[in-house]
Amino acid sequence: MNEPLPGALYLVATPIGNLGDLSSRAAAILSGVDFVAAEDTRVTAKLLSHLGVSKPMMTYHRHNLTEAGEKLQKRLQSGESCALVTDAGTPGISDPGEDAARLCAENGIKVVSVPGACAAVSALSVSALPTKRFCFEGFLSSERSKRLASLRALAGETRTIVFYEAPHRLAKTLSDMKEVFGGDRKISLCRELTKLNEEVIRTDLEEAAARFEKEEPRGEFVLVVSGAPEAEDSWEDTDIPGHFEFYLSRGLSQSDAMKAVAKDRHVAKSEIYRALKIKEQ
């Protein structure tokens, strides 16, 4: 189990801040593979040196995916085993591990998970927000119009939503979230998890936006935002126009609000159009 198989790609999770979080299986795989593919070989060299391991390394990052991918594929197909690691956390979650897994799977190469730290899951677990149902959105666009469009599409999402964000964009993102989701939406800002200055700020969007308008954020952040209230609680005693208004007030477009109303009431969309006296297109 801990002995790498020839020709397999191991997606090895590495710590997100605390070296103690590297599993003994991860250490065994890193020691046993023929080579390591790393997002940043300087970061990974430190980890390997902590383990007392010396390994041939190649870089695999978002700027060399094509050539490095070809090299990686050839070496794996020739029977070498490889551990792919990214800068921190679980490869494939908002990092180039996603491309490596797809490339290898498409080419019949065995892809094996060596699980461990993942910032999104750690943040969700300490957020104190509902965890029964959640969705992961990764990074929002750095372009404001695209970011707002993504947030608007999420306005009616009832599951807890997990985002990654870079510190230099935090203030703008919080202000946009407040604008789209409303200031009373709860948020847990999980900062520097597993590190010395780890902090979880459990507040609402109004306060979070105000705080980071003044304060410069430091370190890495995961934002965990509570979902919109469940429509089922409120629509059963209301008529179709009221139900429709409810979704509009949550930021849904007219067409998405109609779809949501039809779905909740288990009726055809045409019935909703009729009740709202809107011409179906």
Residue 119 beta carbon to ligand SAM: minimum distance, rounded to whole angstroms: 3
Contact residues for 70 (Cβ-Cβ < 8 A; gap 6+): none
CB-wise, 119 or 262, nearer to ligand SAM? 119
Binding residues for ligand SAM, how many (CB under 6 A)? 23
Interaction between residue 119 and ligand SAM (CB under 6 A): yes
The residue (of 11 and 252) whose beta carbon lies closer to ligand SAM is: 11
**Contact (Cβ atoms closer than 8 angstroms) between residue 21 and residue 116:** yes
**Which span sits near ligand SAM by CB under 6 A: 68-76, 176-184, 191-199, 246-254?**
191-199
Q: What are the strands of the beta sheet with 57-59, ordered from one edge?
A: 57-59, 35-38, 82-85, 9-12, 111-114
Q: Please, which residue, 221 or 246, has the CB nearer to ligand SAM? A: 221
Cβ closest to ligand SAM, residue 212 vs residue 244: 212
Q: Which of 72, 93, 228, 258 binds ligand SAM (CB under 6 A)?
A: 93
99 binds ligand SAM (CB under 6 A): no
DSSP the chain: --SPPTT-EEEE-B-SS-GGGS-HHHHHHHHHSSEEEESSHHHHHHHHHHHT----EEE--TTSHHHHHHHHHHHHHTT--EEEE-SSB-TTSSSTHHHHHHHHHHTT--EEEE----HHHHHHHHH-S--SSEEEEEEPPSSHHHHHHHHHHTTT--SEEEEEE-GGGHHHHHHHHHHHH-TTSEEEEEESTTSTT-EEEEEEHHHHHHHHHHSPP-S-EEEEEPPPPPTHHHHTTS-HHHHHHHHHHTT--HHHHHHHHHHHHT--HHHHHHHHT----
The yes or no reply on residue 158 touching ligand SAM (CB under 6 A) is no
Q: Is 10 in the site for ligand SAM (CB under 6 A)?
A: no
Beta carbon nearer to ligand SAM, 86 or 231: 86
Q: Enumerate residues 51-70 that contact ligand SAM by CB under 6 A.
A: none
Min dist. Cβ of residue 162 to ligand SAM (A) = 10
Q: Is 190 in the site for ligand SAM (CB under 6 A)?
A: yes
Of 18 and 234, which CB lies nearer to ligand SAM in the complex structure? 18
Per CB under 6 A, 14 contacts ligand SAM: no
Chain position whose Cβ is nearest to ligand SAM: 89
| 137 in contact with ligand SAM (CB under 6 A) | no
Counting contacts by CB under 6 A, is residue 15 touching ligand SAM? Answer: no
Q: Which amino acid is residue 2, in one-letter code?
A: N
Q: Which residues form the interface with ligand SAM (CB under 6 A)? A: 16-17, 86, 88-90, 93-95, 118-120, 164-166, 190, 192-195, 220-222
